[in-house]
Amino acid sequence: MNTIRNFNSTGWIELITGCMFAGKTEEFIKRIHRHKFAKNKTIVFKPLIDTRYSEKHIISHSGAKLECINVENSHKILDYYHKTVKKEPVKVVGIDEVQFLDEGIVDVIEMLANQGVIVIVNGLDKDFRSNPFKNVDKLLSSAEVVDKLLAVCFQCGADANRTQRIVNGVPAKSDEPTILISGNEKYEARCRKCYIRPE
């Protein structure tokens, strides 16, 4: 885990996934910085919808920071990539919170990897109902490298792999919207035992 693979300069996909508070963004930022230090041309994107901490940066819960480009959809990523590659070759593309982008992003990621780009992606594997999250479910089967991280259960301290949405101090009902951008004031990491499936 957490090693750079050498695929003879071909592209590949690295997926960092898990529940909230598992350290996905921290790991994502670390991998992108490693490529930047190696002077690999790198461009990083995040969905326009995610403005929790900053509009122009990806920021982890612990405060690690990475400059990025906000995009509203997968086509914008492709457009920006093509404009950049005309000036200089792009070795690495990073995509944060891939579950918040449209489903066309999976084809874009595949296309980039097929063109020799290392694509590093992070996203939640399950929504608050514990159902597979869009885009991440498909990338789990197509990525060459998958790291599924665990958090610490907010209730008992065990390993957690589920995200509990909290509304007014109690678990959310199942009819709430799937996407609600927030931090720890609305969500908790929970283990299998402590997680309460929404009804």
Q: What are phi and psi of 124, to 5 degrees?
A: -70, 135
Whether 102 is in a domain gets the answer yes
Q: How confident is the model at residue 182 (pLDDT cuts 50, 70, 90)?
A: low
Whether 61 is in a domain gets the answer yes
Whether 18 is in a domain gets the answer yes
Categorise residue 160: left if φ over 0, alpha if ψ from -120 to 50, beta otherwise. Answer: beta
Whether 184 is in a domain gets the answer no
Residue 49's CATH number: 3.40.50.300
SS3 183: coil
Q: What are phi and psi of 132, to 5 degrees?
A: -55, 135
Question: For 121-136, what is each residue's pLDDT tens digit?
Answer: 999 999 999 999 999 9
Q: Give the predicted TM-score (pTM) of the model.
A: 0.89
What's the pLDDT score for residue 177? 85
How many structural domains compose the chain?
A: 1
Do 129 and 171 touch, CB atoms closer than 8 A?
A: no
Q: Which residue range is the domain that position 111 belongs to?
A: 12-150
Whether 158 is in a domain gets the answer no
What's the pLDDT score for residue 7? 46
Question: For 147-158, what is each residue's pLDDT tens digit?
Answer: 999 999 999 999
Q: Which residues are catalytic?
A: 97
Whether 46 is in a domain gets the answer yes
- pLDDT beyond 80 at 198: yes
Question: For 17-37, what is each residue's pLDDT tens digit?
Answer: 999 999 999 999 999 999 999
Whether 104 is in a domain gets the answer yes
Whether 188 is in a domain gets the answer no
- pLDDT beyond 50 at 71: yes
